[in-house]
Amino acid sequence: MAKVSIPTVTLNNGGKLPVLGYGTWLGFDEKLDPRIFDVPKLIETLSYAIDIGYRHIDTAHFYRVEPEVGQVVNEKIKLGIVKRDELFITTKVWQNYHREADVEVSVRASLKRLNLDYLDQVLIHWPVSVSENGVDEKIDYLETWRGFESVLAKGLTKSIGVSNFNVDQLRRLLANCKVIPATNQIEVNLNLGQNELVEYCQSHNIVVVAYSPFGTMVPGQGPPDSPEPKLNNPTLVAIAKKYGKTVTQITLRYLRGLVSIPKTVTKARVLENATIFDFIIDDDDVKTLAQFNNGYRTVTSNFYQDYENYPFEKPSGEKQQLPSSFLKWKNGVNGDIE
C-alpha cells in the first residue's frame, strides 16, 4: 500500500497541524439535504486515508457523521495503525449552541458521538447564531468565544479557532479575547484568494485552513455560469503537464502556506491529493494561477445574509429560504443518534 508523508505547520499554541487534511463534509443533494447516503463510502475512504498516512481529520456537528468518524478512528487505534496523539481531529460548534454555557454542551456531545476523550481543535462554525427554529438569536460571538476559552481550560480540546470570520470580526475578537484563535477556516481556491483576510490571519499568527480548495472546478460543484478554471482549462492543463501532475494537484499545491481540507470519497483521489509535496510551482506559474482570482465565492450561505454577523458581502440574486436541514437533526447514517 502506498504511503504519504504530509508536513505540519506549528499553531500559536505549539501544536502541530498537518497541512493537508481529510474533509468529511459530504455535501448536499438537490434538496439541500446532506448526502448521508454516501456515509458508507466515507467510512471506507477515511479508513484508507488513515492507513496511508493522513493524520488530520476535519468534521463538524453539522455534517452528521461524527459517529462514523469516531468509529473509524477508534478502530484504527485499536488495530495499532495509529495512536490517538498522532491524530489531529477538528470538529465545529453549530449556530444554535452560541450561548456561552451551550458551547460545552455541544463539545461534550461531539466527544460522545466521536467516542473520544478530547478534541485537538474546536471551531465556531459560523459567526451567525441561529435558533433551532431558524430565528436570528443575535448572540455576540464574543460570548461564544468565552465558552470556547472555557472548554479549552477544561481540557476538552487542545486548541480553539473560528471559521468563516472576516477581518473586522477577527479584529474585534482579538481585541476582546484571552486566547487568540489558532486557526480561521475559510474558503480559499483559485477563484477566491481572500488575500487581505489571509494576510491578516498570518500577521497575527492565525493559521488559515482552506475549505472548498477546488471551488467550482469539479463538475457539479457550482452553477453552470460559474467562472473558469474548470478541470479542462487549457492554462491549468498546460501547467499540470509541465510538472507531471494533475490539475487538482496543481490547485492544492498553489495553496502554499495554507492548510487545506479537500473532501472526497474516492480512494484514488485521497492518494492523489496527498502526492503534492515533491514539487514546487515556479514564480511565473504562480502569477499565472493568481490571475484566476476574481472574488467568486462558492459557499455564500445567502439565506443568512440578513442575519446579524453575516460575514460576507451580500450576494446578488434571490435570497434562498433557510433549509430545514440546517435547523435540527440527529446524527449518523441512520439519523438516530443525538
Is 211 within 8 Å of 161 (Cβ atoms)? no
Is 325 within 8 Å of 63 (Cβ atoms)? no
Residue 103 has which C-alpha cell?
A: 458551547
- Exactly one of 22, 63, 141, 310 is catalytic; name it: 63
Q: Whole-angstrom Cα distance, residue 288 to residue 305?
A: 33
Residues of 167-182 as b/e, b for ≥16 C-beta within 10 angstroms? bebbeebeeeeebebb
pTM score above 0.85 = yes
- State the pLDDT at residue 94: 98
User: Domain 8-308+315-320 is in which class?
Assistant: alpha beta
β-strands 88-93, 207-211: how paired?
unpaired
Phi-psi region of 242 (alpha: psi -120 to 50; beta: other; left: phi over 0): alpha
DSSP 129-157: -B-TTS-B----HHHHHHHHHHHHHTTSB
Residue located via cell numbers 446524527: 331
Stretches where the chain sits below pLDDT 70 are none
pLDDT digits (tens, 9 = 90+) for 241-292: 999 999 999 999 999 889 999 999 999 999 999 999 999 999 999 999 999 9
| Ligand-binding site membership of 125 (annotated) | yes
Active site residue 63: yes
- State the pLDDT at residue 224: 82
Backbone φ and ψ of 95, nearest 5°: -70, -20
Backbone φ and ψ of 9, nearest 5°: -120, 145
